[in-house]
Chain A
Amino acid sequence: AQSVTQLGSHVSVSEGALVLLRCNYSSSVPPYLFWYVQYPNQGLQLLLKYTSAATLVKGINGFEAEFKKSETSFHLTKPSAHMSDAAEYFCAVSGRDKLSFGAGTTVTVRA
């Protein structure tokens, strides 16, 4: 079975600082991996996805993630945080017919 673990339930960064959200996966087959963002009281929106092509994946809003098979990781980064990045972020891995999500990481951005 596929699963993901997000390290850190809360991350606080200063505006303009690096955003780093950690995700490790477990999968018995080559995984498809995803990062989603959720703003308060809204549904989830796809930031980016890895589907076995390039290991460095660029997404929307300046985010990117790198697939590292040796570390079973898919960490999300953004070089410079903006106030609008304050949200909850979910890592997910695809299994047969469904995605399994991590517990989420809440990002707060300090002015």
Chain B
Amino acid sequence: SQTIHQWPATLVQPVGSPLSLECTVEGTSNPNLYWYRQAAGRGLQLLFYSVGIGQISSEVPQNLSASRPQDRQFILSSKKLLLSDSGFYLCAWSGQGELFFGSGTQLSVL
């Protein structure tokens, strides 16, 4: 069966520090992968998605970037975090016509 792993679960970072969130999927090959962010009271915002290795589509211009170095690995990064980067980050993969989500990372930038 397919599983998705996302870590860390919580993260507290100072403003200006770098960020790396990792997501891996098991049990499937060549999945479409996604990074979403939830800010308080603002629903889900699609940040990036990828349909294959090295293929990244950015939905919203911002302080973040994404990379897909391997088929089932998706990384969200920032060189310098801003206060506005705080939120709940969710990784997901798509299969059978639906999205399957990881358990999320709560990022607090202080």
Write the residues of chain A forming the contact surface with B, with a CB cutoff of 8 angstroms.
9, 32, 34, 36, 41-46, 49, 51, 90, 92, 94, 97-104
Contact = CB atoms under 8 A, between A and B. Distances in A.
Contacts of B41: 9
B84 to A, nearest CB: 18
Interface string B53-80: 0000100000000000000000000000
A110 B84 CA distance: 34
B104 A46 contact: no
B32 interface: yes
A104 B43 contact: yes
Chain B, interface SS category: strand
Given A44-B99, A98-B49, 20 more contacts: A32-B97, A43-B90, A43-B92, A43-B103, A44-B44, A44-B92, A45-B101, A46-B99, A51-B97, A94-B97, A97-B49, A97-B51, A97-B57, A97-B94, A99-B94, A100-B46, A101-B44, A101-B46, A102-B43, A104-B43
Chain A, interface SS category: strand
A99 B59 CA distance: 12
Contact of A98 (B42, B46, B90): B46
Contacts of B90: 43-44
Nearest to A94: B97
Contacts of B100: 46
B106 interface: yes
Contact of B43 (A32, A49, A103): A103
B46 A49 contact: no
Contacts of B88: 41
Nearest to B57: A97
A101 B42 CA distance: 11
Contact of B106 (A41, A49, A51): A41
Nearest to A42: B103
A101 B59 CA distance: 14
